[in-house]
Amino acid sequence: MPPPVDIVKVAIEWPGAFPKLMEIDQKKPLSAIIKEVCDGWSLANHEYFALQHADSSNFYITEKNRNEIKNGTILRLTTSPAQNAQQLHERIQSSSMDAKLEALKDLASLSRDVTFAQEFINLDGISLLTQMVESGTERYQKLQKIMKPCFGDMLSFTLTAFVELMDHGIVSWDTFSVAFIKKIASFVNKSAIDISILQRSLAILESMVLNSHDLYQKVAQEITIGQLIPHLQGTDQEIQTYTIAVINALFLKAPDERRQEMANILAQKQLRSIILTHVIRAQRAINNEMAHQLYVLQVLTFNLLEDRMMTKMDPQDQAQRDIIFELRRIAFDAESEPNNSSGSMEKRKSMYTRDYKKLGFINHVNPAMDFTQTPPGMLALDNMLYFAKHHQDAYIRIVLENSSREDKHECPFGRSSIELTKMLCEILKVGELPSETCNDFHPMFFTHDRSFEEFFCICIQLLNKTWKEMRATSEDFNKVIQVVREQVMRALTTKPSSLDQFKSKLQNLSYTEILKIRQSERMNQEDFQSRPILELKEKIQPEILELIKQQRLNRLVEGTCFRKLNARRRQDKFWYCRLSPNHKVLHYGDLEESPQGEVPHDSLQDKLPVADIKAVVTGKDCPHMKEKGALKQNKEVLELAFSILYDSNCQLNFIAPDKHEYCIWTDGLNALLGKDMMSDLTRNDLDTLLSMEIKLRLLDLENIQIPDAPPPIPKEPSNYDFVYDCN
């Protein structure tokens, strides 16, 4: 007979005593269970004690999280969070340097637990730590030369505890003084400082900027880009990551009118070339967090274009009209201007109209009207002027080449530039906030100060080349744009390291090559619509679905490492989940770092029987996606979230590392529950495998026309005299 659901068998440790095996009744109050444990070891004052996990987390057991206790869990009887917080509060104020250091070390470790953190914060512990940072560091300045390692460790543990306590979101960031900010900023501004102190200081500054508008202004006054740049020129990738994170935070929270000014300062300080040299082209792999921060910087830089992208041209603005005149002048400078004689104004207007037509504007009389659509607005005109000035030969060649063609075969430069700019803004998602989970940065955009404009220049030449290869006419304009989009997207997926490499990738993606790729993809996804083929598909489909189901379950048996996302992304914690080979139990547990390869079942401390699973929910229906906070509301995180609901009000929450793993797990879990696998990945796999299987079965029928309907059955013969009787 199975044990009652509410009874959990655990082991409980107490220093100096043999561990005790006992059954915990989850219906009983936690205080009653602790009293029972204390009575067993003859310990008085049970209210001063608590239970905590005996693993590396050391988290306290509370009424809120007690349902996470599983059979076989090892617990430890220890002093209560309130007692522990009180003792540490006193110990960190000790006059003994050694005692103080040991207390701060314990505090840094315990502060990760929200139960302890709440008790320590209730004792005004945050204020005590900030005072120690503000004044305590100065008190020990004289001792620093003698006891430098001790001083560095003490400050490092103090800042670590502060960061961990603030991470729980219990205390508002708005409560900190200017003196504290100045002190943290001074650690960042020092040329020689302990790595761990610098790391924590940068993390604190980033959180301050992101969580408080008032603190952003104070931090911006204390920290300059020039003071952050030296940290990027070192060799420690973690420090570089934190530094770029602070720059991104300052960039993100800056008022609109300050962002362009800040971008100019970044350009003056050569931030781009420093990142390219010391980060992107350094002789080491770029980790996920660095890739994310580079992606954020890339997005924020391109978002500076949003203002111009959403600005309509004012046809009455002479300065803006002069840009169009300049485009005309550069292209047709060789042609003589009419004399200022009578009637010259009419001739001039006629000549301008003719030239604007050659430049490919839709509105020949007043080209300014072409730039009244947003997006791309004035950004398209900016790109055209940049191309005309910095790639003058290519610009003149494109304009003159097209003006000498027949009207219907000319590639309209003006219209093409406007549509291309709009397309590039869509590809690079100009104007959208950076995703919390994306790592998709492109090294080539860090190789040039005007990378978007150079990107445009390469693509407008590609468009002209593709137009000629397609022998396109004005009616084919949208088809050409679609082909160019495909060429650009395919080249970007290869992550070229420079703009020249991007250009060479495009050279290999000619229109002919795109046609070959499309043809190949069409053949691979060919959909036979005749009735016999459809009937064959129906017959084969259950067999293919069973194959996909087995593949999904096999992947669940291998397991996946998941991230626990919190407000500060770099302090991600990992956990691993995998299905037992007999498909009856899910094993899961926390990890210190991302594993290399599979994690054995026996190292995962928690279990969930598949029979206990009630449902699998995704997206906004997940309990952890209903919590408040910017991170939880992020669209991409929502698309990767799913939860397993089991027992009463219990759940196991997941955020998949990518869309592929999300589909694998939701499919696998649904298969375990006997439900249909509904993911996009299943549909794609089903289409691919069905297509392959049908092609294999039809190999013998190559070049034979399969009729839509079966051939008619012939009429019965008038007599059967032709039948030969063997008897």
What CATH number is given to the structural domain containing 22? Answer: 3.10.20.90
Lowest pLDDT segment from 172-176, 288-292, 703-707? 703-707
Residues 209 and 249 sit within 8 Å (Cβ to Cβ): yes
CA 417, 307, 423 angle in degrees (round to 5)?
30
- Higher per-residue confidence, 455 vs 516: 455
Q: Are strands 74-79 and 7-13 parallel, antiparallel or unpaired?
A: parallel
The CA distance from 671 to 696, in Å, is: 28
pLDDT at 627: 60
pLDDT at 545 over 90: yes
User: What would the pLDDT profile of 42-66 be if each residue is shown by its tens digit?
Assistant: 889 889 999 998 877 778 999 888 8
pLDDT at 634 over 70: no
CB half-sphere exposure, 222, CA atoms < 13 A: 27
376 cis-preceded (ω within 30 degrees of 0): yes
Strand pairing partners for 60?
52
**Whole-model pTM?**
0.76
Quick one: 559 and 636 in the same domain?
Answer: yes
* Domain interval for residue 68: 7-79
Quick one: 427 and 320 in the same domain?
Answer: yes
pLDDT at 530: 67
CB half-sphere exposure, 241, CA atoms < 13 A: 19
pLDDT at 606: 83
User: What would the pLDDT profile of 396-429 be if each residue is shown by its tens digit?
Assistant: 999 988 887 766 778 899 999 999 999 999 999 9
Within 10 angstroms of residue 671's Cβ, the number of other Cβ atoms is 21
Q: Are strands 573-579 and 650-655 parallel, antiparallel or unpaired?
A: unpaired
User: What would the pLDDT profile of 693-709 be if each residue is shown by its tens digit?
Assistant: 888 887 777 666 666 67
Q: Mean pLDDT over residues 181-199, rounded?
A: 88
At residue 75, φ and ψ (nearest 5 deg) are -110, 165
Quick one: 381 and 493 in the same domain?
Answer: yes
What's the mean pLDDT when you consider all of the chain?
86
pLDDT at 702: 65
pLDDT category at 448 given cuts 50, 70, 90 is very high
Alpha helices by DSSP H, 310-412 = 318-332, 344-358, 378-390, 392-403
Place of tokens 């129906």: 538
DSSP letters of 683-710?
A: HHHHHHHHHHHHHHHTGGGTT-PPPSSP
Domain count for the chain: 4
Q: Which residues contact 306 (CB under 8 A, 6 or more apart)?
A: 430, 431
711 cis-preceded (ω within 30 degrees of 0): no
Q: Mean pLDDT over residues 620-641, rounded?
A: 68
Q: Mean pLDDT over residues 656-666, rounded?
A: 91
Q: Which residues contact 226 (CB under 8 A, 6 or more apart)?
A: 269
pLDDT at 244: 95
Q: Is 579 part of any domain?
A: yes
Three-class DSSP category at 591: strand
Within 10 angstroms of residue 23's Cβ, the number of other Cβ atoms is 12
Q: Is 192 part of any domain?
A: yes
pLDDT at 724 over 80: no
Q: Is 234 part of any domain?
A: yes
Quick one: 371 and 407 in the same domain?
Answer: yes
Q: Is 155 part of any domain?
A: no
Quick one: 548 and 500 in the same domain?
Answer: no
pLDDT category at 394 given cuts 50, 70, 90 is very high
pLDDT at 457: 97
User: What would the pLDDT profile of 110-119 be if each residue is shown by its tens digit?
Assistant: 999 999 999 9
Of 366, 387, 383, 392, which is closest to residue 422 (Cα–Cα)? 383
Of 35, 67, 62, which is closest to residue 49 (Cα–Cα)? 35
Q: Mean pLDDT over residues 546-560, rounded?
A: 94
Q: Is 458 part of any domain?
A: yes
Q: Is 260 part of any domain?
A: yes
Q: Mean pLDDT over residues 147-176, rounded?
A: 83
Quick one: 581 and 632 in the same domain?
Answer: yes
Q: Is 695 part of any domain?
A: no
Q: Which residues contact 645 (CB under 8 A, 6 or more apart)?
A: 613, 614, 615, 616, 617, 651
pLDDT at 196 over 60: yes
Q: Which two tokens stand for residue 385?
A: 């002027």
Determine if residue 182 is left, alpha or beta; phi over 0 gives left, psi from -120 to 50 gives alpha, anything else beta: alpha
pLDDT at 570: 46
Q: Which two tokens stand for residue 112?
A: 């990760």
What stretches of 401-508 adopt beta strand conformation (E)?
none
pLDDT category at 723 given cuts 50, 70, 90 is low
The CA distance from 553 to 517, in Å, is: 33
Q: Mean pLDDT over residues 516-523, rounded?
A: 76
The CA distance from 343 to 341, in Å, is: 6
Q: Mean pLDDT over residues 91-99, rounded?
A: 88
The CA distance from 23 to 37, in Å, is: 11
Quick one: 327 and 467 in the same domain?
Answer: yes
Quick one: 328 and 472 in the same domain?
Answer: yes
Quick one: 498 and 558 in the same domain?
Answer: no
Q: Mean pLDDT over residues 490-512, rounded?
A: 94
Quick one: 547 and 654 in the same domain?
Answer: yes
pLDDT at 151: 64
CATH number at residue 674: 2.30.29.30
What is the percent of the chain with per-residue pLDDT over 90, rounded to a whole number? 48
Quick one: 491 and 628 in the same domain?
Answer: no
pLDDT at 726: 67
Instruction: Judge residue 211's burial from the number of C-beta atoms within 10 Å of its C-beta, 0-12 exposed, 13-18 middle, 19 or more buried.
Output: middle
- Higher per-residue confidence, 436 vs 497: 497
pLDDT at 140: 47
pLDDT at 336: 45
pLDDT at 443 over 80: yes
pLDDT category at 70 given cuts 50, 70, 90 is confident
pLDDT at 467: 94
Within 10 angstroms of residue 367's Cβ, the number of other Cβ atoms is 26
At residue 170, φ and ψ (nearest 5 deg) are -80, -40
pLDDT category at 509 given cuts 50, 70, 90 is very high
Quick one: 571 and 448 in the same domain?
Answer: no
Q: Is 128 part of any domain?
A: no
pLDDT at 527: 47
pLDDT at 262 over 80: yes
